[in-house]
Chains A and B, each alone.
Chain A
Amino acid sequence: MLGLLRKIRRTGRVAEPAPPSPVVDRSAVAAELGGSVQIRHVDAGSCNGCEVEIGSAFGPVYDAERYGARLVASPRHADALVVTGPVTRNMAEPLRRTYEAVPGPKLVVAVGDCARNCGVFAGAYGVAGAVRDVVPVDVEIAGCPPRPEAIVEGLRKLTGR
């Protein structure tokens, strides 16, 4: 326990200084949420590259939580769905149902090139389409996989902080 205490003191703060806010004009929904966005992550058929980056966006270095975003365990608790991957045929219906389970006002964030336009999986036999073909998308984050900075920037547009 003393070793851990010493490590905490030696390490100090690892979170990088916050970059300037990317928010130019807050959308009506973001204003209604007032700086608090609970996020439910849905993997609609991703290769897990985006999941690793989302994990580090919420890790100590990028610390998306300081802007008021938080990952939650249930779509009922969520304000925003973060969807990764091309929507596979098996995940189209679960994604639609997850979207219906979120209480309004709700937002959808498509993370990664696969979620935006199916990426390298475009035209594959098991793919039902991009995320916007299944549920309405509000924010898109490009990249394969997107860098944690890009994910944090996209989430800050929702929290407005």
Chain B
Amino acid sequence: MSALGIVGGVVQPVLIVAGSPLLVGVMRQVRARLEGRAGPGVGQPWRDLRKLFGKERISPRGTSEVFRVAPLVLVATTLVVAVVTPFVTTDSAVDPVADLFAVVALLALGAVTLALAGLDTGTAFGGMGSSREMTILALVEPTLLVSIFALSVRVGSTNLGAIVSATLHDPVRVISPVSLLAAVALIIVIVAETGRLPVDNPSTHLELTMVHEAMVLEYAGPDLALVELASAMRMSVFLGLLANLFLPWGIASTATPIALLVGVLALIIKVGLLGVLLAAGEVFLAKLRLFRVPELLAGSFLLSLLAVAASFFLA
């Protein structure tokens, strides 16, 4: 455990927790402007969270501990990922956990816990949302693993820090077929996993079309605030992972204050730009029919499989 890793382990979670509601605010504002609206401002998600934390806590009749614990598990797993993954510094605070499989498993654990909570409420929409989320998750997780695995083949390690450092020292890798195929697969997977268009519509009011929203319909007050904060954090974590796996420049590899400052700024700019692109792209998309989503995800799995094949044959 190096000094750089410890500094990263402190700076990263603070940055992700404080910044991810702002990222959601920026994305909503971009969408509002493109639709000709004025928009509520980038601080609105933080205002919503502050208000929700001050509201009454309600647990619906018939729900068990699963329902009450799920928001905490969701936030905790995302927070661990925010601590260990190389976002600001190449070294990790807890190096063995900064592993490709561990990080993907942690993110999946959060999603599965929330799906169980959706089932626990016993409502029709909760169960429907959970079943849809599980369908999508089962198709997304293999792609996520395989596409990052394609990058790890050349490095010879599944440690995310090692993958990022290797790309940093050998920039030509970024434009190789392996990277490009894996990047496209990862982008589709991230869109599906964070519940954005065309897989899920985050601003829908229609229960029948919901995926993520349907699972959290019964949460109120502070629990809802935790769930919303966690889904904002998951989005920043996924976008940060995408940015640093393929464009790691700016990340701090020494523990000097200048390098750390550059690392923080680079992460904010990269994730902010990706968020703006994602929000602007959504304006041009309609939601896919649920039964067409597996086709999209199967396509992305094929791309990630090709990326792995290319990483062995074109090495």
Contacts and interface: CB of A to CB of B under 8 A. Distances in A.
Contacts of A8: 34, 36, 283
Contact of A103 (B36, B37, B40, B56): B56
A65 B32 contact: yes
A94 interface: no
Given A14-B36, A18-B38, A76 B47 contact: no
Interface in A21-75: 32-36, 38, 60, 63, 65-68, 70-74
Interface residues of A, number: 34
Contact of A38 (B33, B41, B48): B48
A133 B161 CA distance: 64
A66 B37 contact: yes
A134 B34 CA distance: 41
A66 to B, nearest CB: 4
B210 to A, nearest CB: 7
A6 interface: no
Contact of B39 (A12, A65, A73): A65
Given A13-B33, A73-B217, A34 B50 contact: yes
A74 B210 contact: no
A15 to B, nearest CB: 4
Contacts of A18: 38
Contacts of A13: 33, 36-38
Interface in A90-135: 101, 103-105
B218 to A, nearest CB: 6
A153 interface: no
B47 A103 contact: no
Interface stretch (B104-112, B219-227, B305-313): B219-227
Given A32-B54, A76-B219, A103-B57, A63 B47 contact: no
Nearest to B123: A74
Contacts of A33: 51
B217 to A, nearest CB: 4
A53 to B, nearest CB: 17
B205 A71 contact: yes
Chief secondary structure at chain A's binding surface = loop
B103 to A, nearest CB: 30
Interface string A74-91: 101101000000000000
Given A32-B54, A36-B51, A72-B205, A103 B221 contact: yes
B217 A36 contact: no
Contact of B36 (A15, A76, A101): A15
B291 interface: no
A4 to B, nearest CB: 6
A73 B36 contact: no
Contacts of A67: 40
B40 A66 contact: yes
Nearest to A8: B34
Given A71-B205, A76-B60, A103-B57, 10 more contacts: A8-B283, A15-B38, A18-B38, A65-B37, A68-B44, A72-B205, A73-B205, A73-B207, A76-B218, A101-B58
24 contacts: A4-B284, A8-B283, A11-B36, A15-B36, A18-B38, A36-B47, A36-B50, A38-B48, A63-B39, A65-B37, A68-B44, A72-B205, A73-B205, A73-B213, A74-B217, A74-B218, A76-B58, A76-B60, A76-B219, A76-B220, A77-B224, A103-B55, A103-B57, A105-B56
Nearest 6 pairs of A and B residues by beta carbon: A14-B36, A103-B56, A76-B220, A36-B47, A103-B220, A66-B38
Interface of A: 1, 4-5, 8, 11-15, 18, 32-36, 38, 60, 63, 65-68, 70-74, 76-77, 79, 101, 103-105
